[in-house]
Structure 1
């Protein structure tokens, strides 16, 4: 039962974030809002850079180190640091904070929930999700002001 709830919440939060983001992009584009390009490019460029870094580091996942079965369905090896799910949640939340403070705060709370679930679910270490969150926030702030 516990594993079903953790997997469900992990999926719901992930899909929620990845559904809200393109909806906001479409709305910004339809209103010809000048923020559209920043809201599109900041997460995109940051995601590419974090993915390259993560591939280079190729840190093992908790279930590889501890020889345990993760609660969240995952079979890939390595690429644990930083958490890309958490990074994505926070870079999107931070970027959208500049569009709507309420939406940004809501997504930050969702990102915190996702970070906790990824650790409890056994697919990331605490340092992976903390780094993902911090890099996401910094990328969103720096990218938005460049």
Structure 2
């Protein structure tokens, strides 16, 4: 068994039998998707309203991250932990590729994009993106390496294109 799978089982074991924590993880997993989509949409509308020159980057860079992660997932086609280890997830999920995490990468690139507009709000959202990433592991739908790779891809694209 890989170190990644062993670490996953340790983290996932922390959740087992803790119903309140499972409820919180369910809320975080569902709520964070809604939050980051709403945040991104709101920022796009605000930049459009202000006719800000940053709008193109704000639209393109997260799209490039999403496309890159989606292609990597298709190529690598790693089974999710619940498929490979036969565990029960906190949130229902399809059996699409696990590596890298689209939730972790999307949340992080949106937070990093926001940081370019408003650093204080960006730092707060980076923390929320990290919580999202950890919740994906604790919920049983990603290995730690999946979310770490998603986060690193977002940081790489941010460094390359926001400079």
- TM-score category (smaller protein): over 0.9
Q: TM-score, normalised by structure 2?
A: 0.84
Deviation at 1:12, TM superposition (A): 1.5
Equivalent residue runs for 1:28-39 within 5 Å: 28-39=47-58
User: d(CA) in 1 for partners of 2:69 and 2:131?
Assistant: 21
Aligned to 1:100: 118
User: d(CA) in 2 for partners of 1:128 and 1:46?
Assistant: 15
Deviation at 1:141, TM superposition (A): 2.2
State yes or no: 1:44 paired with 2:63. Answer: yes
Q: Runs of 5+ in structure 1 lacking a partner?
A: none
State yes or no: 1:87 paired with 2:105. Answer: yes
Aligned to 1:131: 149
State yes or no: 1:109 paired with 2:127. Answer: yes
Aligned to 1:60: 79
Q: Runs of 5+ in structure 2 lacking a partner?
A: 1-18
Aligned to 1:12: 31
Aligned to 1:70: 89
Q: Which runs of 4+ in 1 moved over 6 A?
A: none
User: d(CA) in 2 for partners of 1:66 and 1:45?
Assistant: 32
In the TM superposition, what whole-angstrom CA distance separates every residue of 1:69-109 from its partner, at most 9, and x where no partner exists?
Answer: 111221x2241001000000111111221111012111111
Deviation at 1:4, TM superposition (A): 2.2
Count of residue pairs the alignment pairs up: 144
Deviation at 1:5, TM superposition (A): 2.0
Residue pair 2:77, 2:97 contacting (<8 A) in 1 also:
yes
State yes or no: 1:143 paired with 2:161. Answer: yes
Deviation at 1:15, TM superposition (A): 1.1
Residue pair 1:25, 1:36 contacting (<8 A) in 2 also:
yes
User: d(CA) in 2 for partners of 1:22 and 1:116?
Assistant: 24
